[in-house]
Amino acid sequence: MEGVITLMPGLGTFRRALCTLLVLVPGCVCLAGASSATLLLEEPYGHLGFFTATGHAAVYLSGVCAETPLVLRPCAAGELGVVISRYDGVGGYDWVAIPLIPYLYAVERPEDVPLYADPKMVLFLRDQYRRRHLEMVAPDRDSGETPGGNWYELVGSAYDRAAYGFEIETTSAQDLAFIERYNSAPNRSHFHLSYRNCADFAKDVMNFYYPKSLRRSIVADIGITTPKQMAKTLIKYSGRHSELQFTRFVIPQVPGSAARSTPVHGVVESFLKSKKYIVPTAVVNPILAGCVVVVYEGTGAGRFDPARQALVFSAQRELEPPLGAEDRRSYQSELNHLLADPNSELNVARAEKWGRVLRNAAPDLDAEGRPVMWIRLGGEVVSVGVAGSNLFNNDAAGLFTKQLLEARLHAELKRGNPPKASESDITRDWFLLQTAMHGADGEVTARAHGPVQNGTLVRAGNRP
């Protein structure tokens, strides 16, 4: 029945938490369920050195919420829980707890997540959230300006990188015990890259719920706790405890002009796959290089794929399977067909790419607190809504809206791992593009000429 979402037992309690995002939809029904603990394995990004290849680890607790970023409490009805992790150089604290949606997107409502984000928008949204909620851990400078440091890691993670979730069910009694333990213990930073890093913290949290579920690898990671090893051991633990509900999913990186994140590696794997380390080693000490290869092959470090069997996360729907390869090619072909039409308004809009337009644009919030970009159009500056909640609020911004949606679809349909979208994501964005091109008749046009007809995907080359 349209508007009714029923989450069946055995499909993962993370999905049940997401249902609270949908209760505003008339008729939405969600089954009650237990809470959960989700290990987040986040891909590395940037070029800051060897150890960035190991990525970042955090834990999402669906039954634990934040009274403040430093004080935990049980969640009330409708709340989504927090992401908790260890950071280096954030107010001198060992851990900080951030609500799920702000942690991923630096906004408070799922409908306000930008459909395509550039670095200026990301910095702006992060600072807006910091000023509202994080002054106690990242206060303004004396001049009132934004502080430096690593506080930016607290919010907007999905703009920087993709992440993988490994969720296991928990109980409210476990949540209450966790809250009591972490509220009463000192919260002062003793961060150390080798033995008190983010993965060590995630290991301690998950082992609090399920003792000895996670452990480091002395061989594959030379004793350093890594996010990838934590994910591998949690999967093994879930295999030994089939009575516990377990779900795997991927949180795609938000489409945008920032560089895409890269695959997660362990320590030995990072060394082997980095030419600047392994090539000189092979020349100077081939025996050592050979040992690295033996360890890599013997531990199976390169065979673990965090995207295997992973569903795709979106803040506005259930977890769903990723778009299949054949379907992706069909959608891409249809998009190329649309763009090749010389009479298409979008074909004209492509003369100036959306990413290039953003270089001279300025981020802001509209009167309702939703993200917009101010862009010069001729002799005036227009406000362009960039989120689903305000995408069509300004008729004068129509050309830019088409460019934004084209850029988003190209990003979602790009080949490669990790999965970037489900079929319902692509269908929705296709309808948005057709609406931007054809106004109120956009959805009708999408069904008549787009990849989806009467609910069925039309393969490339088979259009009537």
The residue extents of the domains of the chain are 13-264+306-312, 267-305, 325-457
- CA separation for the pair 450, 59 (Å, rounded): 40
Q: Classify residue 244 by its DSSP letter.
A: S
Q: How far apart are the first and last CA of the chain?
A: 30
Tell me phi and psi for residue 186, to 5 degrees.
-60, 140
> Tokens standing for 188?
């002062």
> What is the pLDDT, as a whole number, of residue 295?
59
Adjacent-strand bridge partners of 164: 41, 250
- Name the residue among 225, 210, 211, 229 with its Cα closest to residue 168: 210
CA torsion 25→26→32→38, rounded to 10°? Answer: -10
- CA separation for the pair 249, 415 (Å, rounded): 18
> Tokens standing for 179?
């809250």
Can you give the pLDDT of all 464 residues of the chain as single tens digits? 333 333 333 344 454 445 545 444 433 333 334 799 999 999 998 865 445 688 899 999 999 999 999 999 999 998 999 999 998 889 899 999 999 999 999 999 999 999 999 999 999 999 999 999 999 999 999 888 999 889 999 999 999 999 999 999 999 999 999 999 999 999 998 877 677 899 999 999 999 999 999 988 776 666 788 899 899 999 999 999 999 999 999 999 999 998 899 888 766 566 556 655 555 655 556 665 566 555 555 566 567 889 999 999 998 889 999 999 999 999 999 888 887 765 555 554 443 477 778 888 999 999 999 999 999 877 789 999 999 999 998 887 888 899 899 999 999 999 988 999 999 999 999 999 989 988 755 444 444 334 444 333 443 333 33
- CA separation for the pair 210, 205 (Å, rounded): 9
Q: Is the separation of the CB atoms in 425 and 391 below 8 Å?
A: no
> Tokens standing for 266?
């362990």
- Indicate whether this model's pTM tops 0.75: yes
> What is the pLDDT, as a whole number, of residue 269?
64
- Name the residue among 235, 311, 227 with its Cα closest to residue 269: 227
- CA separation for the pair 60, 40 (Å, rounded): 7
> What is the pLDDT, as a whole number, of residue 280?
62
- 210-217 LR contacts (CB < 8 Å, sep 24+): 210/168, 210/237, 210/241, 213/237, 214/39, 217/266, 217/299
Tell me phi and psi for residue 99, to 5 degrees.
-55, 150
Q: Is the separation of the CB atoms in 124 and 191 below 8 Å?
A: no
